[in-house]
Amino acid sequence: MELNRFLVRVLIALTLFSPLQAWAQNDSERSYETHPDALALVDEMVEEHAFDRQALLDIFSEARYRDSIVQLMDAPAEGKPWKDYRPIFVTSKRALAGKAFMAAHLETLKRAEQQFGVPAEIIVAIIGVETYYGTHAGKTRVLDALSTLAFDYPRRSAFFRKELKAYLQLTRDEQVDPASLKGSYAGAMGYGQFMPSSFLHYAIDFDGDGYRDIWHNPVDAIGSVANYFARHGWKQGEPVVSKAHFSGDAKAVNWVRGRKNLKPDYKLSELIKLGLEPQAGLDIQQPSTPIRFTGARGKEYWVGLHNFYVITRYNHSALYAMSVYQLSQKIAN
């Protein structure tokens, strides 16, 4: 009788012990070729994009879970206040390096500005904030980053699952070994830190050599960043942001909060009535975003305009967009 009870308990345990639980028992360096979610993605890629099943299984056998990636995702720089965020990116050293990068690639930047209407200093500032002009492009294998976040970071797994699929497509299209590319802990790549889906949609071959190389070719990287901004609606010659004075009721204003309220939903005339008065003379009918930062000397008030919103399409953060803008001004000046 006792033996029978023991066997029943064993059978129940085996029934409840799912493939995902079995996979999770492996060590921290575990690969993904047997992960149920990875196998489901393999099925999708075979069916939707005609991938070879064994080739995908081989790729996921090389992909590794990285706990450090999950930890970094939970402590982003965008969580800092402006007074702590700004000194990371808007520095004289970074601006001087930007001037040197601009001088080295002046003809390419001029061509990008003429073709896409995006100022050279904005393109350079993006690359400066993202990778310090290509010198800090990331040391994490993109395959590891995207696999870890797609399958072991539930909070944003849907987003990173799409990026992983895009990564598999781009490496096949560009004939690159998926295990060879390195980038950020979130899977961003190259001089401008494009996510794989951004690469598929916006990366261009700007030097005409037949390859879209944003990892090693600054010409392609510059053209790709300019194309990204143009495709997201950059308006040539229009301002980006204006510092403002505020004298109203702060509770009556729908301020930018983290990644929220970035879209310019107010008319500037409406913000003026609420007490947010821009220092620059601007068209009061244009769409605007009210911004309030905690700066080193207290509260700072700004009015973000259409082109400011375009910068946030690169990274959905007002802190990021302001850093890019201010660094661009230091480079230009």
pLDDT for 121 = 98
Going by DSSP bridges, is the β-strand pair 298-304/182-183 parallel, antiparallel, or unpaired? unpaired
**pLDDT of amino acid 259:** 85
CB atoms within 10 A of CB 262: 21
In the structure, what pLDDT confidence band is assigned to residue 15 with cuts at 50, 70 and 90?
very low
pLDDT at 18 over 50: no
Tokens 């002046």 identify what position? 106
Residue type (1 letter), 210: G
Q: 295 or 258: which carries more pLDDT confidence? A: 295
Predicted local confidence at residue 77, as pLDDT: 67
Statement: 80-136+218-333 belongs to CATH 1.10.530.10: yes
Mean pLDDT, residues 299-308 taken together: 97
- Domain extents for the chain? 80-136+218-333
Orientation angle between helical segments 92-104 and 106-116, nearest 10 degrees: 90
Work out the average pLDDT over 285-295: 96
Is pLDDT at 219 greater than 80 in this prediction?
Answer: yes
Which residues have C-beta within 8 Å of that of residue 230, sequence separation ≥ 6?
Answer: 116, 117, 118
What would the mean pLDDT of 158-162 be, rounded to a whole number? 98
Q: What is the pLDDT of residue 25?
A: 43
- Which residue among 121, 130, 163, 300 is the active-site one? 130
Mean pLDDT of 258-272: 94
Backbone angles phi, psi at 28, to 5 degrees: -70, -15
- The beta strands (E) that lie in the chain are given as 140-141, 182-183, 241-246, 266-267, 276-278, 287-295, 298-304
Residue 327: other Cβ atoms inside 10 A: 24
Segment 140-158 shows an average pLDDT of: 97
**45 within 8 A of 51, measured Cβ to Cβ:** yes
Q: Summarize the confidence of residues 156-162 as an average pLDDT.
A: 97
Rounded Cα distance, 285 and 6, in Å = 77
Section 147-156 average pLDDT: 96
pLDDT at 156 over 80: yes
Please say whether the beta carbons of 306 and 264 come within 8 A: yes
Which pLDDT score is estimated for 264?
A: 95
Q: Is 130 tagged catalytic?
A: yes
Secondary structure element (H or E) that encloses residue 89, with its range: helix 82-89
Residue 10: what pLDDT?
41
Looking at residue 16, what is its pLDDT? Answer: 41
**Mean per-residue pLDDT over the chain, rounded:** 91
pLDDT above 50 for 2:
no
- The pLDDT tens digits for 72-124 are 998 776 678 999 999 999 999 999 999 999 999 999 999 999 999 999 999 99
Model confidence over 36-66: pLDDT tens digits? 999 999 999 999 999 999 999 999 999 999 9
